[in-house]
C-alpha cells in the first residue's frame, strides 16, 4: 500500500510529501481493516470501539443451491 500511495509518481516538494503522507496515514488507520487485529481498523481498536480479538465484519452466509 505504501508503494501504491507514496511512490506512485514524483513528489516535488515537502508540502506534497506531507499531503501524501497524511492521506496514507488516514487510509491506513481509519479506512483499511487489518488482519492482525481481527480485520478491525486501528483507530477503532485504539479508541476502544472494537476488540482486537473479535472481527466486526459480517460473515457471508453461504446458502445451499439445491
**Residues of the chain above pLDDT 90, percent:** 47
- Predicted model pTM: 0.68
Q: What is the CA radius of gyration of the chain?
A: 17
Residue 26 has pLDDT above 90, yes or no: yes
| Interior/surface letters 27-66, b for 16+ CB within 10 angstroms, e for the rest | ebeeeeeeeebbebbbebbeeeebeeeeeeeeeeeeeeee
Residue spans of the domains in the chain: they are: 2-46
57-62 long-range Cβ contacts below 8 angstroms, 24+ apart: 57/33
* Average per-residue pLDDT for the chain: 85
Instruction: Report the C-alpha gap between 55 and 35 in whole angstroms.
Output: 9
* Among 51, 20, 1, residue whose Cα is nearest residue 41: 51
Amino acid at each position: 500500500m505504501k508503494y501504491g500511495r507514496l511512490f506512485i509518481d514524483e513528489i516535488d516538494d515537502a508540502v506534497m510529501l506531507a499531503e501524501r503522507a497524511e492521506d496514507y496515514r488516514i487510509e491506513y488507520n481509519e479506512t483499511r481493516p487489518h488482519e492482525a487485529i481481527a480485520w478491525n481498523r486501528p483507530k477503532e481498536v485504539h479508541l476502544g470501539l472494537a476488540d482486537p480479538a473479535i472481527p466486526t465484519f459480517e460473515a457471508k452466509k453461504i446458502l445451499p443451491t439445491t
